Amino acid sequence: MTFYNNNQHSTYIIAELSANHNHDIEIAKKTIKKAKEAGADAVKLQTYTADTITIDCDNEFFQIDKGTVWDGMNLYELYKQAYTPWEWHKVLFDYGKEIGITIFSSPFDKTAVDFLEELETPAYKVASFEITDIPLIRYIAEKGKPMFISTGIATIGEIQEAVETCRKAGNENITLLKCTSSYPAPYEEMNLLTISNMKETFGLNVGLSDHSIGSTVALGAVALGATVIEKHVILDRSIGGPDSSFSMEMDEFKQMIQEIRKLEKALGRVTYELSKKSINSRTFSRSLFFVENIKKGEKITEKNMRSIRPGYGLHPRHYYEILGKVASKDIKRGTPVKWDLIE
């Protein structure tokens, strides 16, 4: 199975499973299978427990009250509900190999990295909220595997620090993911034009980790040069869960991928060459025609010669050059203008 590389031409599509398994491994497996059938290249898990990502504390610092879909919970409660059991990981990794789709994960502490190394994960994702955890990023980078780094809460300086940490650890296989850490993310906060600037600023490929509703933002990102699209997916939003409200159902996900593949064809390459069909279509372009019957020796005027469709006559650039000359023979209305008809 070939994993994403920075030089591939097609957009790499990652289906984010996140918490959309409702603590049922069969739902997780079915979601992976449906993602594969929809055309995804990879499925990403999240590797943490409530205890590895936070502590069980109910004071004001651990309450969620920032206008999110999770307001009213504390962090420990949320992560206890949202985590993917570690004993599932090997089953899901093996299942991915069985059906032919890559499985990898986001680790949230060093124990998760060690665990994923045992499973021979082909890559790592650094989540937006972990981009400031420089020791964790260094530990991941030292494994020498491809890294995706989401930038949803980072300043440009923090992105630079994360990238430099990877490079100092000898890891240049980095793809930054433009991200807006709002759930769901409003269109007016996406600022997709940043993708081109990120590519130029950091000298890296840039993709999109997308929490917006629908496929519009993902398509815009591909048009702007995104090499990776990551989307949360769910079998059916009605099953609920912490991330269900901003996750794509499988028919939507499949449609997005189909639209991305069509867009890739349309983007093509920089060229001014005409396709065979375009060359054929030039038949219907403008050219000079005699639009009235003309006698030999009669003067050519704006009345009896015009630039019209189709394109069998002389190029319209010769219009003023020909005006005032005379016909070399009798000419019927609807005859293309040719040099041998002019004196």
What is the separation of C-alpha 336 from the centre of its chain, rounded to a whole number of angstroms? 49
Confidence class for position 280, pLDDT limits 50, 70, 90:
confident
- Looking at the fold, whether 134 and 283 belong to one and the same domain comes out as no
The domain tally of the chain equals 2
Confidence class for position 59, pLDDT limits 50, 70, 90:
confident
Q: Which residues contact 34 (CB under 8 A, 6 or more apart)?
A: 233, 235, 250
- Looking at the fold, whether 263 and 281 belong to one and the same domain comes out as no
Is 57 within the bounds of a domain? no
Confidence class for position 169, pLDDT limits 50, 70, 90:
very high
What is the pLDDT, as a whole number, of residue 288? 98
What is the pLDDT, as a whole number, of residue 1? 35
What is the pLDDT, as a whole number, of residue 164? 98
Q: Are 132 and 150 in contact (CB under 8 A)?
A: no
Q: Which residues form the domain of 302?
A: 276-341
Tell me: pLDDT of 137 over 50: yes
At 134, list the tokens: 């420089």
Is 77 within the bounds of a domain? no
- Looking at the fold, whether 134 and 34 belong to one and the same domain comes out as yes
Task: Name the residue with higher pLDDT: 69 or 207.
Answer: 207
CA dihedral in degrees (130, 131, 133, 134; nearest 10)? 150
| Residue 4 buriedness (CB in 10 A; 0-12 / 13-18 / 19+) | buried
Nearest to 250 by CA among 262, 263, 264, 237: 237
Nearest to 199 by CA among 225, 170, 229, 166: 225
Last residue of some domain: 250, 267, 284? 267
What is the pLDDT, as a whole number, of residue 72? 74
Task: Name the residue with higher pLDDT: 25 or 74.
Answer: 25
What is the pLDDT, as a whole number, of residue 330? 97
Q: Residues of the chain with pLDDT > 90: what percent? A: 77
Tell me: pLDDT of 303 over 70: yes
Confidence class for position 8, pLDDT limits 50, 70, 90:
low
In this prediction, residues 259-271 reach a mean pLDDT of 94
- Looking at the fold, whether 175 and 245 belong to one and the same domain comes out as yes
Q: Are 80 and 133 in contact (CB under 8 A)?
A: no
Nearest to 4 by CA among 50, 52, 53, 40: 40
Tell me: pLDDT of 222 over 90: yes
Q: Are 141 and 116 in contact (CB under 8 A)?
A: no
In this prediction, residues 295-301 reach a mean pLDDT of 97
Is 68 within the bounds of a domain? no
Q: Are 251 and 237 in contact (CB under 8 A)?
A: no
At 271, list the tokens: 């060229």
Is 292 within the bounds of a domain? yes
Summary count for the chain: helices (H), strands (E): 12, 12
Is 125 within the bounds of a domain? yes
What is the pLDDT, as a whole number, of residue 6? 55
254 membership: H or E segment, kind and range: helix 250-267
What is the pLDDT, as a whole number, of residue 9? 67
Nearest to 208 by CA among 241, 256, 251: 256
CATH number of the domain residue 302 falls in: 3.90.1210.10
Confidence class for position 242, pLDDT limits 50, 70, 90:
confident
Pairing label, strands 287-290, 228-234:
unpaired
Is 323 within the bounds of a domain? yes
pLDDT in tens, 106-115: 999 999 999 9
What is the pLDDT, as a whole number, of residue 58? 82
Q: Are 217 and 191 in contact (CB under 8 A)?
A: no
- Looking at the fold, whether 111 and 167 belong to one and the same domain comes out as yes
pLDDT in tens, 68-102: 666 777 888 888 877 899 999 999 999 999 999 99
- Looking at the fold, whether 148 and 244 belong to one and the same domain comes out as yes
CATH number of the domain residue 149 falls in: 3.20.20.70
